[in-house]
Each structure stands twice: as structure tokens, then as C-alpha cells.
Amino acid sequence: MLTPDTEANLSDRLFSDLDFSTGAVAAVSGGSDSTALLLLLKDHLDQTASAARLLAVTVDHGLRPDSAAEARQVARFCAERGIAHRTLAWRSEKPATGLPAAAREARYRLLAEAADAEGIKLILTGHTADDQAETVLMRQARDDDGRGLAGMAPATLHDWRTWIVRPLLGTRRAALGDLLRHRDIGWIEDPTNVDVRFERPRMRAALAQGEGERRIAEALARSAQAARERRDIGRRAAKLIAASASRPVPGLIRLDHDFPAHGDSQAVIYAMRILLATVGGISFLADEARCAGLLSRLRLRSVRLCATLSRTVVDARRTGIFLHRESRNLPAPAPPVDNQLWDNRRRVALDRRITLKDQPGDLVIAPLGSALARRAPPIEDIPPSLSRAALAAEPSLWSGGEQLDSAGGNAGPQSVSIVPAVAPFARFLPSFDLEPAAAVAALVGAPPVPAPPFRGHVGGRGWAKA
């Protein structure tokens, strides 16, 4: 059983490396894990950073009749302890399939909106070692390609601006239950946690039987090893990208001819998968086998090659290997929306001081198009057909059929910026992938990755396990 001394040691181990200078949002459903997280966090802040803001947020997904009452119960629990609390409801239409994934996406979006409204850059969730083991085993059952076996990252950047931290990934669920019982605190049991219509409850039920503890231990060991391997190959891929890739014009990446033949074939494939997804605006990495086949063909320098993978045209020329977005299925003209991902390749930002009435009523974002792209001046060593094709697929602001500005700038008084994004990591950047994401961001001109949420340096104890 946890004693006050061991609880204090646990709080210190969980939170001492975190930077709470902007405060913290704690995701609290009322279950045992998130309730324990909130109490341990409150104790830590009271003892070490009493001025830090703490906001508990409950997301009501509206999926069960009791969910609203449970949210009110959490609100009362927080009020009794002097903790600010907000309940946010997921009001969108619920999908017929993929409900857990959609609910997860909505939860993170609402948590990030709550944090952004308060100027808080840190969200904490109550995922435990048990959750991690379940995740790894579920992914293993799906024949995951290896990256996913790292499980949930200790820290994940959401929308390139808010860090989500999971400080309990090294803590077992039973220990948190012991903590709450020691304090004589109850919690809410969510019936969906035992609803075997869903994958995770089925896995949880299986682990509650005979060999469950052994399987959990093996899954956690596998996760740690996969995380180390993922960080390592990411580091190597990042160095390769920095050394071999350039951006001669917006939307066009040039790779050195010797890139496919680099001795570190694993890093070459990984780097290429990330680059193809980034250029094509795909949220998942390019298929590994197809990417390996493409690179094999590119090693034959005598062969002129033009292929398409992940919405990216790969064109091998005398002056290099060029990547650009294919011209099909580009977004239709549409008004700019703050924090919108345009074609998953650019992030739109609106100056919040500019109201809708200050905007032209017909202001839209649309591709530049081939007619205007042909007016771009030629660039040495870049085939004009490639630079024009890349520019034609880039976004531009238009009003009344007149172009106002191209990607990456502000359109005068409208103050609409359209900046590059790293597509596979634009919504969620796990800390495992920080180095390749930062390398690609520098390559395409995206904003740098926001500083990790750890005091003083990149590697706090929690980060070192990323």
C-alpha cells in the first residue's frame, strides 16, 4: 500500500522534470487513473509551484446516458479541492464505424482548445503502463510495421503547439487504485471499459486471465526496445535529410543523386517515407515495401524515372531527384479557417485581431495554378517544368478571382498566413519522431518544433524514455 512518503516520492518522480510555467491542463474522466493523476499533480503543484495554474477538463463524449452526470460528479470533486474545472462536450455527429478513434481525436482537440483558451501549453493524461501494454499487444496483433510497437509516446505535440504528456506510462493501474483507496476516494467505472464490442476491452479482459502479467511485462519490454529503435532510426534519417535534401522552390524537394545508394539503407527508406508523406500531404508514412522498390529503381542512375507514390511525383533528372505534389485532387477554393490544414501540407493561421467583417467576403485559398506558375523566374539547375508543377500546386489567397498573395506570406490587411506543415506529424508528433520532424520542418520552411515541456534541457527523465 502507498504511504504518504511513497506518494510524495511518486509525485516527484512523475512531475519534477516538467515545466509548469504556463500551467497545466489535466484530462480527468473520473476513472481511477485520471483521478489519481489529478490528485498527485495537485499535491506536486501545491508543494513546488503553488502559483502554477491547474485546470481539470472533462470531455463528455455524449455516448452514454450517464456521461453528463459523471461530468458533474467530477466537477463537484474538483470544486471540493479548489481545482478549476471545465466540461467540454463532443457535439459532432458520431460515426457509424471507427468510433473509438473518432472519440480519441475529439478528446484531444477539445483538450487542446481548452488549453489554448487559457494560454496553457501542457496537457497531462492518465495513460498507465497497463494502457501501454494493451496498445502494444493490439498493434502487434495487427501486424504493425514496427514503429507502432513503441506504443504511446511519453510526450506528443498536438497541432504543432501544445504538448500532451503521459507521466503515468511507467505506473501500473493497480498502484493508482491503491493510492485512491488509501485516501478513501472512489472513482467512476466506465462500462465501456468492459464492453467487448471494442478492441481494447477485449484485450483488457484477456490480460486479466492466466498469463496476463507475463504478457504485460513482455509487451512493456518490447515497447521500450521499439522506442529506442524508432528514436535511433529517426536520428539517422534526420542527419540524412539534412545532408542530402534541399528545397529550391516552395513545394519542390531535391535529393542528391547518391541519396538512394547511401550505406544506411534503413535510414534511407525511413527518410524517403517521411519526405513522400510530407510532400504529398499524407498523414501516414508512405508504404515501406513500395518505397524500398522505388529506391531500388532510383539506384539505377542510367534509367530516367518518373513515378508517383503517396500523392508525390518522384522525378529523377540529371540535376537530382525531385519530389513535388501531384496535380490531381487538390483542394477546391474555400475560405481560410484558423489552424486549418490545407491539403495537409500548409497550416492556415488568422490574426485573431482581425474580425470576419474586416475580411473580403469572397476571400479563399486555392492552388496557384499553372498559368501563374509559368510566370515564375527560372532557377539554375532546376528544370522549369518541375518548378512550375510544384508552384502550381502551392496555395494562394484569392479575392474576386484576383490573387492576393502566395503561400507563406500575409495578405496585407487580411493577415492570413499559410505556412508549411510536416504532414505526417502535423496533428500528432510523438516524441519518438522529434528529430526527423525537426529536420523536415527546417527543410520545407515550417515553424520549428516548440520547445519540449521539460525544464532546462531537452532530456528530462521522462523525455529520456521517449
Per DSSP, the residues of 321-381 read EEEEE-STTPPPPB---TT-EETTTEEEEE-TTS-GGGS-TT-EEEE--HHHHTTSPP-TT
Task: Name the phi and psi angles at 146, rounded to 5.
Answer: 115, -40
C-alpha cell recorded at residue 143: 501486424
C-alpha cell recorded at residue 216: 504485460
Using a 10 angstrom Cβ sphere, with 0-12 exposed, 13-18 middle and 19 or more buried, the burial of residue 306 is: exposed
Q: Is residue 362 part of a domain?
A: no
Q: Is residue 379 part of a domain?
A: no
The stretches of 81-198 forming alpha helices (DSSP H) are 99-118, 129-141, 173-182
Residue 323 scores a pLDDT above 60: yes
Q: Is residue 343 part of a domain?
A: no
Residue 264 scores a pLDDT above 60: yes
- Say which range, 80-84, 181-185, 461-465, has the weakest mean pLDDT: 461-465
Write down the pLDDT at residue 31: 95
Q: Which domain holds residue 33?
A: 4-209+458-464
Write down the pLDDT at residue 228: 96
Question: CA 157, CA 178: separation in Å to the nearest integer?
Answer: 31
C-alpha cell recorded at residue 364: 479563399
Q: Is residue 114 part of a domain?
A: yes
Task: Give the rounded distance of the alpha carbon of 229 from its chain centre.
Answer: 19
The predicted-structure confidence for 417-446, as pLDDT tens digits, reads as follows 899 999 999 999 999 999 999 999 999 999
Question: CA 309, CA 313: separation in Å to the nearest integer?
Answer: 7
Q: Is residue 289 part of a domain?
A: no
Q: Is residue 229 part of a domain?
A: no
Residue 407 scores a pLDDT above 70: no
- Mean pLDDT score, 160-189: 95
> Between residues 80 and 355, which one has the greater pLDDT?
80
Average pLDDT, the chain: 90
Q: Is residue 333 part of a domain?
A: no
Domains: count for the chain: 1
- 3-state SS assignment for residue 59: strand
Question: CA 11, CA 40: separation in Å to the nearest integer?
Answer: 6
Using pLDDT thresholds of 50, 70 and 90, give the confidence band for residue 4. low
Using pLDDT thresholds of 50, 70 and 90, give the confidence band for residue 354. low
Q: Is residue 202 part of a domain?
A: yes
Residue 411 scores a pLDDT above 60: no
Instruction: For residue 171, give the CATH number of its domain.
Output: 3.40.50.620
Highest mean pLDDT among 138-147, 202-211, 304-313, 394-403: 304-313
- Mean pLDDT score, 295-315: 90
Using pLDDT thresholds of 50, 70 and 90, give the confidence band for residue 410. very low
Write down the pLDDT at residue 321: 96
